[in-house]
Amino acid sequence: MGEFVRLEVADGIGTIRLDRPPMNALNSQVQEELRAAATAAATDDAVRAVVVYGGETVFAAGADIKEMAGMDYAGMSARAGALSSAFDAVARIPKPVVAAITGYALGGGCELALACDWRVVADDARLGQPEIKLGVIPGAGGTQRLARLIGPARAKELIFSGRMVGAEEALRIGLADRVVPADSVYIAAVELVSAYRNGPAMALRAAKAAIDGGLEMDLASGLAWESQLFASLFATEDQKIGMAAFIAKEKPGFTGS
């Protein structure tokens, strides 16, 4: 367990909890603790789905600017890849992952949310990539994941302007998936992924790999990738259980293997 990031596991749900008051600023220590928590969630068989949560007040208001302000090109060049790969560790968790967003998800906080499969957003939350106002650009996935999620034109407008969007606009443009009252965000996020706790874990892993990997390929390569993953599931116990249950008109009792 890290000082500022911890993985809490209960009833098949792993919560990656950011806890660096007051704004969960993402300094280099948080970055590495986040990587460790994501790796633990990915490899722990007791974790069947993941919630990334910053607490009742704020998700994450961005990078620690005081830490960055004095860095030169050489220093940031050495650090930038590590920051991006820490968020990528979250994106590569081979299980359903949802961000539970309260308060602000700005800059690196928005990029962390983009690394998740879904975003449940408080009705008074604000999201955005304001880096342009600091004379820089998003450097941990924002230009890439945001454009893939909401389209390049909308992503350019948000990144070029650096403006924040409210929850309803985020929902309208596809940046948010659900909007709920602020005091219900964590509960709603858990409810969203709870449906997958008893599902076929290997098939869920394959589905996520097929979608995420396919987005980086041309259609023919993506179809071949999908076929390979589809065929591989016939080596799993859950495939036998699922098809036998279908034939018997019963509810499958998946084991996750």
Which of the residues 37, 41, 49, 63 is marked catalytic? 63
Question: Among this protein's residues, is 131 annotated catalytic?
Answer: yes
Find the CATH number of the domain harbouring 210. Answer: 1.10.12.10
Model pTM score: 0.94
- Backbone angles phi and psi of 166, in degrees to 5: -80, 175
104-106 and 118-122 beta bridge pairing: unpaired
Query: Are 106 and 45 in a shared domain?
Result: yes
Whether residue 254 lies inside any domain: the answer is no
Q: 210 and 138 in one domain?
A: no
Tens digits of residue pLDDT in 185-217 = 999 999 999 999 999 999 999 999 999 999 999
**pLDDT of amino acid 78:** 80
Residue 61 tokens read as 């208001």
Q: Is residue 253 part of a domain?
A: no
Residue 108 falls in the annotated catalytic set = yes
* Active-site residue identified among 99, 131, 199, 226: 131
Residue 113: inside a domain: yes
* % of the chain with per-residue pLDDT over 70: 100
17 vs 23: CA distance, rounded Å: 13
120 sits in which H/E element: strand 118-122
What's the total number of domains in the chain?
A: 2
Nearest to 30 by CA among 61, 51, 69: 61
Mean pLDDT of 178-182: 98
- Do 120 and 61 share a structural domain? yes
Catalytic pick among 14, 108, 109, 139? 108
Amino acid at site 256: G
| 49 pLDDT tier (thresholds 50, 70, 90) | very high
Task: Please list, in sequence order, all residues whose beta carbon lies within 8 angstroms of the beta carbon of residue 199, skipping any fewer than 6 positions away.
Answer: 48, 254
* Same domain for 240 and 178: no
Residue 255 lies in a domain: no
User: Of 102, 97, 82, which is closest to residue 33 (Cα–Cα)?
Assistant: 82
Q: 25: domain range?
A: 5-194
Res. 98: pLDDT tops 90: yes
Instruction: Specify whether 167 is located in the same domain as 225.
Output: no
Return contacts of 1-5, CB within 8 angstroms, 24+ apart. Answer: 2/29, 2/32, 2/33, 2/36, 2/37, 3/29, 3/33, 4/29, 4/30, 4/33, 5/30, 5/33, 5/34, 5/36, 5/37
Same domain, 160 and 78: yes
User: pLDDT digits over 55-73, tens only?
Assistant: 999 999 887 788 888 888 9
Indicate whether 215 and 129 sit together in one domain: no
pLDDT in tens, 140-177: 999 999 999 999 999 999 999 999 999 999 999 999 99
